[in-house]
Each structure stands twice: as structure tokens, then as C-alpha cells.
Amino acid sequence: MPTLNEAVTDFLAQERIAVTGVSGNRETSANAIYKKLKHTGHKVYAVNPGMEIFENEQCYPDLASIPEQVDGVVIVNKPEVTEQIVQQCADAGIPRVWMHRSMESLGSSVSDDAVEFCKQEGITVIPGGCPMMFKEPVDFGHKCIRWWLNISGGLPKQV
């Protein structure tokens, strides 16, 4: 099993990343992750079945609607939705999933059933944390969150 740092390095080295859970109504973690990945040179696809446009780009209703192969998916949804999205990943042959988890009080996309499903399907899964804690340049707030989650046991050691 890869370590968290190995999985993160591999995930963030990918070119084409989808972000589920973006919202046009307010600033969300998904929106911030989408913008950060786009700003740092990734080709990013917004996924939300209730939207057609996000950040002046097409927003896709599901992973199957994205016109090219995606290298990884950042899931920023409720855990029960995560279970549906990982099935879409398996169906589309997407080999990497990052289930976003913020500080415990702010919510989590992690579903134990979805993590187990990914492992059974051979999908590399990062069950927790946030890409913004690792994607350089990391802002001060995300550096602090990463430090806290690391010392408090909030980050997975292996994936």
C-alpha cells in the first residue's frame, strides 16, 4: 500500500482531474479546490448534475459525460453521494479518487463503504484531507490544517 504522501504526489501529478460537488450558489471547498487545481495548471472538470456552467466552463452532470479520460476525481459531496461517484469512477476506468475531508466539524465526503469499494476495484483512494493542503503553493491556513490533522491522527498514514 502506498503512503499518503506517495498517493498525494501521484494524484497531484495528473493532468486531468474532475471535481464533484461544485456549487454556483456559494463558495465551497469544491469550488476552492477546482480553482486551485485550474490555477496550478491542471485541466479541471466541474461535476454537478444541477449545473450547466461553472466558472464560465461547461459543468458535467456526471463523470461519464466528460468527453475525455479523467486521471483522478476529487469528491466533495456527502458520503452517500460518494458511494455513487466511486461507482461512476469504476465504470469510467478512473484510477484515482480523493475523498475530501475537512476539519471534522466542517464535513466529510469519506464513506467507509466507498473506500472499500475503491480498494476492491483497484482504485487508489485517498480517504481524507484536502488537495489544497498539499498542492504548492500551499496557503498558510491549509499548512496549519495539514499540521494539525497530521499530529492529531486526522490524516490517513496509508491509502
Name the DSSP letter for residue 158: B
- At residue 135 the predicted structure's pLDDT band, cuts being 50, 70 and 90, is very high
- Model pLDDT, residue 98: 97
Supply the pTM of this predicted model.
0.94
CA 58, CA 97: separation in Å to the nearest integer? Answer: 21
**Mean pLDDT taken over the chain:** 92
- Model pLDDT, residue 120: 96
- At residue 103 the predicted structure's pLDDT band, cuts being 50, 70 and 90, is low
- At residue 158 the predicted structure's pLDDT band, cuts being 50, 70 and 90, is low
Cell of 89: 469512477
What pLDDT, in 10s, does the model give residues 32-63?
999 999 999 999 999 999 999 999 999 999 99
Q: Where are the chain's structural domains?
A: 4-152
- Is there a contact between 145 and 130 (Cβ–Cβ < 8 Å)? yes
Cα-Cα-Cα-Cα dihedral sign, residues 101, 145, 135, 43: positive
In the chain, what percentage of residues exceed pLDDT 90? 78
Averaged pLDDT, 130-143: 94
According to the 3-state scheme, what is the secondary structure of 15-45? CEEEEECCCCCCCCHHHHHHHHHHHCCCEEE
From residue 135, give the alpha-carbon distance in Å to each of 28, 64, 140, 143, 150.
Answer: 18, 26, 12, 10, 16
Beta strand extents in 62-101 (DSSP E only)? 72-75, 96-99
Averaged pLDDT, 73-98: 96
CATH 3.20.190.10 applies to domain 4-152: no
CA 107, CA 110: separation in Å to the nearest integer? Answer: 9
- Model pLDDT, residue 153: 83
